[in-house]
Amino acid sequence: SDVKKIAVISGDGIGPEVVAEAEKVLKRTEELFGYTFETSHALFGGIAIDQKGTPLPEETLEVCQNADAVLLGAVGGPQWDNNPKELRPETGLLGIRKALGLFSNLRPAVVFDCLKDASTLKPEVLEGTDLMVVRELTGGIYFGDKLRRQGEHGEEAVDTCVYNVTEVERIVRQAFEIAQKRKKRLASVDKANVLETSRLWREVVNRVAPDYPDVEVEHVLVDNCAMQLLRRPASFDVIVTENMFGDILSDEAAMLTGSIGMLSSASLGEGSFGLYEPVHGSAPDIAGQGAANPIATILSVALMFRMTFGYEDAADAIEKAVAKVLDEGHRTSDIAVDKSQAISTSAMGDLIVKNM
Amino acid sequence: SDVKKIAVISGDGIGPEVVAEAEKVLKRTEELFGYTFETSHALFGGIAIDQKGTPLPEETLEVCQNADAVLLGAVGGPQWDNNPKELRPETGLLGIRKALGLFSNLRPAVVFDCLKDASTLKPEVLEGTDLMVVRELTGGIYFGDKLRRQGEHGEEAVDTCVYNVTEVERIVRQAFEIAQKRKKRLASVDKANVLETSRLWREVVNRVAPDYPDVEVEHVLVDNCAMQLLRRPASFDVIVTENMFGDILSDEAAMLTGSIGMLSSASLGEGSFGLYEPVHGSAPDIAGQGAANPIATILSVALMFRMTFGYEDAADAIEKAVAKVLDEGHRTSDIAVDKSQAISTSAMGDLIVKNM
Ligand SMILES: CC(C)[C@H](C(=O)O)[C@@H](O)C(=O)O
Ligand SMILES: CC(C)[C@H](C(=O)O)[C@@H](O)C(=O)O
């Protein structure tokens, strides 16, 4: 059938507020474009720990597995930070990525014109910055064996970073394909002068590169990449890297745009299934006040339409509506210069819906 | 005796040029302050590969082990980049750190007034930035077991990250002590929501913190730290972290100051022994042209005087001379606004010597 099933996970903090606005957008899309969505809500993260005793309940996983895509608000908060590992929201996040086979995390870092002053970088440095970090999401040191043991010099801890050729090749090929649809430049980031996993990574990149002759590849060491992102952000197009480096570099890249409250992300597996979420966190300090900015979550819906459903028309409509509302000067308080003029989460959502 | 033995390693690229200027400073210090230095030159890095077939010849290690401190220029260059591992300059660098027990790398990131416009950050964000990254240098994923093997999904590579309590405690205590002499703030950076080594790290920090009640400690996740360095660099004082994270964050921190060509670093072990080197690399593109900036290397000598020899007077004299020469408007081409007015490497060295 043409009914698209969306698992909706509101999560913690401002999650429920921003997701509610995204759901208005889903509803308006049905009216405007004749698409049909079936949404199922599921508990995840801190709220699931409180209500079900685990961050990733079995039924939540089932809801996701039965869906075509997942929309996630945000998870986490200080009240769960000192919990044992199995009772922490992050453990749910790692669990859902692995269980759903979401091996690729796409984090576009773009500069919104109206927010370019919010960046701590000089505007002339930022000019033209539009990059995408493609982060491997289900391998590396995140998922390798971990242990504690007594060693010669007291207690010791071990983390293991493992990558196989298959894992590297699928994410690298995906990054090449994404680069082909963009500015055709790929920076593969590793630490090949120190790590064996990085040397394997680099070999795979070099082996598959000839299959994408139109893409210009460079290998960048991770420490150098952390510098170059600051020095010449606009010179990057697609950056592909392993899980841990991607965690660090995608946050650095997002922050330098100054637009972190507006950025969406996609986590993809084989096929068209994907999990979509804003880059920002659960912001417990402003939760429940109607002050959160729903734009990143709404743009995550647009990303879902484009990447999972192929609904380019609806994705365009959302993105244009967001641009229009911002052009007209409407701002939630996080992006308002004059905070007294700021509008609420739901007012922002309504305006975007009205302009679709 | 009161003769201080200094192992001098010029290395590759611009290394010999900048080290030559630092040696002028050593000589002038003898004249002005009556100290006596005995320098021994040793081959290391690319030049050692070419002349001795190994990046870290046995005799170089001996020269260093017999010295009170090591002054290093820079190593590496494209001609060795595709060599097998044991014939690469970086392998020498890792080897010398381990062999000399240099478990701590101190990277001060300060903004030179005359260079604040060179930063890509807005001046108002940079204002007051003066931080120090304390990086663990002989443990973690850099030195853990590495291997290749055939796995279920093709060839795989493994890196192991190991830390024991003793290793963590010595670097953490050192960072606390450094913070006590500075602004009394310590940010311990880890990824405790994912890594077992980070959980051990955090436990050690929490256990020793009460011994330094005057220091305010915060735990910062590495991805968040990469963001906060951009957002609020001036709010950091001392950052302590493990080897891999320190590699990335210290380069990010150095770059955001805009003063990377002027920054010095120290690698320390037990006792007063230390290896001192500029943060910048070997810059093969400008090697041999007399265009390199010797200031970072000269300031590394000042750092050596302060940290290894306790020669505060001489360290002050060097730092003041550098400040004066810069105040007078003298610039090498890397930091000159008007490149046609730039002076040479040796002219800069001579001016600093003259002003000591
Ligand atoms: C919460 C944490 C486990 C997670 C990660 O490191 O992957 C987060 O930082 C992210 O980037 O999604
Ligand atoms: C050359 C390389 C092995 C080295 C490191 O990663 O430690 C360098 O980046 C550094 O920071 O000194």
Q: What is the pLDDT of residue A117?
A: 87
pLDDT at A1 over 70: no
Q: What is the pLDDT of residue B113?
A: 85
Measured distance CA(A46)–CA(A35) in Å, rounded: 32
Q: Nearest Cα to B217, choosing from B231, B227, B203? A: B203
Q: Name the strands in the sheet holding B154-164, side by side, starting at the edge strand that comes first in the sequence.
A: A146-151, A154-164, B154-164, B146-151
pLDDT at A350 over 80: yes
Does A231 carry a binding-site annotation? no
| Mean pLDDT, residues A22-31 | 98
Does B62 carry a binding-site annotation? no
Q: What is the pLDDT of residue B116?
A: 83
10 Å CB burial of residue A131 (0-12, 13-18, 19+) is buried
Residue from the list A120, A164, A199 with its beta carbon closest to the beta carbon of B121? A120
The one-character DSSP state at A353 is: H
Dihedral of CA atoms B286, B290, B292, B297 in degrees, nearest 10, equals: 130
* Catalytic machinery residues of A: 142, 191, 223, 247, 251
> What pLDDT digit, counting tens, does each position of A76-129 carry?
999 998 899 999 999 999 999 999 999 999 999 999 988 888 899 999 999 999
> What pLDDT digit, counting tens, does each position of B71-104 carry?
999 999 999 988 999 999 999 999 999 999 999 9
Q: Nearest Cα to B239, choosing from B301, B183, B170? A: B183
Whether the pTM exceeds 0.85: the reply is yes
User: In angstroms, what is the span from residue A90 Cα to ligand 1's centroid?
Assistant: 7
Dihedral of CA atoms A212, A218, A221, A222 in degrees, nearest 10, equals: -60
At A45, is the secondary structure helix, strand, or coil?
Answer: coil
Question: How close, in Å, is residue B296 to chain A by CA atoms?
Answer: 18
Contact B142 A194 (CB under 8 A): yes
Q: What is the pLDDT of residue A116?
A: 83
Contact A248 B122 (CB under 8 A): no
B31 lines ligand 1 (CB under 6 A): no
pLDDT at B62 over 80: yes
> What pLDDT digit, counting tens, does each position of A293-328 carry?
999 999 999 999 999 999 999 999 999 999 999 999
Residues 6+ apart with CB under 8 A from B4: B35, B36, B37, B38, B68, B69, B309
Residue ranges of domains in chain B, CATH in brackets: 1-102+269-356 (3.40.718.10), 115-127+140-257 (3.40.718.10)
Q: What is the pLDDT of residue B337?
A: 86
> Which one of the ligands is nearest to B281 CA?
2
Q: Which atom of ligand 2 is nearest to the CA of B247?
A: 11
Average pLDDT taken over every residue of chain A: 96
The one-character DSSP state at A308 is: I
pLDDT above 90 as % of chain A? 94
pLDDT at B107 over 70: yes
Contact A191 B155 (CB under 8 A): no
Contact B255 A226 (CB under 8 A): yes
> Which one of the ligands is nearest to A138 CA?
1
Q: What is the pLDDT of residue A177?
A: 97
Residue whose pair of structure tokens reads 């960048």 in the numeric block: A220
A252 lines ligand 1 (CB under 6 A): no
A242 lines ligand 1 (CB under 6 A): no
pLDDT at B1 over 80: no
B-chain CB neighbours of A148 within 8 Å are: 196, 200
Q: Which atom of ligand 1 is nearest to the CA of B191?
A: 6
How many CB atoms within 10 Å of residue A348?
26
Contact A156 B164 (CB under 8 A): yes
Q: What is the pLDDT of residue B115?
A: 86
Are B215 and B178 contacting, i.e. CB atoms less than 8 angstroms apart? no
> What pLDDT digit, counting tens, does each position of A234-289 carry?
999 999 999 999 999 999 999 999 988 899 999 999 999 999 999 999 999 999 99
B-chain CB neighbours of A164 within 8 Å are: 151-157
* Atom 12 of ligand 1, residue of closest alpha carbon: A247
Does A251 carry a binding-site annotation? yes
| Mean pLDDT, residues B217-239 | 97
> Which one of the ligands is nearest to A227 CA?
2
Counting ligand 1 atoms within 8 A of each CB, the residue from A56, A93, A103, A106 with the most, and so the one to mutate, is: A93
In whole angstroms, what separates CA B320 from the centre of its chain? 21
CB contact burial B118-135 (16+ within 10 A = b; e otherwise):
bbbbeeebbeebebbbbb
Assess whether B354 carries a catalytic annotation. Answer: no
Measured distance CA(A170)–CA(B256) in Å, rounded: 34
> What pLDDT digit, counting tens, does each position of A147-176 carry?
999 998 899 999 999 999 999 999 999 999
Q: Nearest Cα to B187, choosing from B226, B157, B154, B150? A: B226
pLDDT at A142 over 70: yes
> What pLDDT digit, counting tens, does each position of A48-80 carry?
999 999 999 999 999 999 999 999 999 999 999
Q: Nearest Cα to B235, choosing from B127, B77, B114? A: B127
Angle, nearest 10°, between helix axes A243-257 and B243-257? 20
pLDDT at B114 over 90: no
Assess whether B223 carries a catalytic annotation. Answer: yes
